[in-house]
Amino acid sequence: MIDILGTKARKPPKQRPIKGRKSLEPSRAIVEPPETHLFDVPCPNFDDFLEIQQFVHRFSAHFDYISDALPALTSYTFSNRTCVTVAHSLLTFLLDDSTTGNPPRIKRDVMWPFIAPYVKPSPTDAILDVDWDEVLRALASSKSHRTVDLMPPQVQIVILRCLVTAVLESKYFQRILEAEMEEHAQAVKEAREEEREYRKCEREARRVFREREAELVVVDVENVGGGRKAGLKKDGKAPSAVQKLREEFKAESAARQEEFGKRQRKLWKKVAKTQPRSTTLGLDHKGNTYWGFDSDPDSVLGFGRRWWLPDEGKRDEAPCWFYFSRSDVGRFIGFLECVLGDLRDCDEKEVAKTLVGNLATLAKGGEEWEDRK
């Protein structure tokens, strides 16, 4: 470098890092959170509604006529007819489980007195501002299935939640759950064995490719002489034989990966289908809960404060229901992993890791998973 006087200019001294000072550059790529939208819920106790929805969706094959209520539940709507259908089906199951011989077949008009003993509101139901003693008296003295028509949706949902709890605690349903868990474990095993076999085949294919590539490079060196970099022509391009081998390996590897992706999506869909879960996906480190199931293939729901919003957007926001697109699950996982990498609280990390694992399982069952890997 020459300065304006024609003398040789000195190079500027190199900037050396100060000992003990950490770099200000981020240690990992920053992933932005997905776009979220507020969700208009049909009732105050929407989390109870979701548990009922997913219970019916997951286990409808074990109950009489309960699948008739599934379209309404999966579209996030609730009606008196839906309540009566689900309640009658769950009561029939409970009576089958609690009696020997031929269980009584209770008609819908007289079912509510039989349901009343199962209705045990929890302390958290106090926020609904309902006189539960009056509700229980109405159920115990009911002579028509229309008794619940005058009750608000949140009360009907509590009644169904109590019935679902009773079913989950029944001995017969416990046996069903055990069988479901065995099927789920087998599905997970199949998916992981398939992945291990794919990795093994890829390693073997790459080993064979490297050996064949080395043989061709040696031949090229012998043909063109060893004065240049092995395997290269005078113009620096790879010889045709080596290049052809590399292109074939790349195409075959892409075809194997595509086929593996198809099989994995199929297996992980089976895993999601056999997963005996009707509760949330988990909590993040701020206490937000998340829901995502096969019954709603388009979105993931959440409840809490959207702490990732800019300060002006989150300062006054109360806990709310929100959702983001199912296609953004991979992006949300990446965002959470970035945030967790900066956390020091081990308990918060462990809680959020469970959520990340469930989100990953949910994503693996989706068509978009391969594109996000």
Contacts of 168 (CB under 8 A, 6+ apart): 177
Beta strands 289-291 and 299-304 are: antiparallel
Query: Tell me, what's the pLDDT at 139?
Result: 93
Query: Tell me, what's the pLDDT at 167?
Result: 92
Coil, helix or strand at residue 12: coil
Query: Tell me, what's the pLDDT at 128?
Result: 85
Query: Tell me, what's the pLDDT at 315?
Result: 57
- The pTM assigned to this predicted structure is 0.66
pLDDT in tens, 135-151: 999 999 988 878 888 89
Query: Tell me, what's the pLDDT at 24?
Result: 39
Residue with tokens 């105050």: 44
Query: CB of 340 within 8 A of CB of 346?
Result: no
Residue with tokens 């959020």: 352
Q: Average pLDDT of each block of 10 consecutive residues along the chain (373 residues)?
A: 44 47 48 89 88 87 88 88 93 77 75 93 86 92 85 93 92 84 82 87 89 77 51 54 85 88 78 66 89 83 88 70 91 88 74 86 56 35
Query: CB of 293 within 8 A of CB of 365?
Result: no
Query: Tell me, what's the pLDDT at 111?
Result: 92
Phi, psi of 6, deg, nearest 5: 85, 5
pLDDT in tens, 82-121: 999 999 999 999 988 665 556 677 888 889 999 999 999 9
Please state whether 280 falls in left (phi above 0), alpha (psi between -120 and 50) or beta: beta
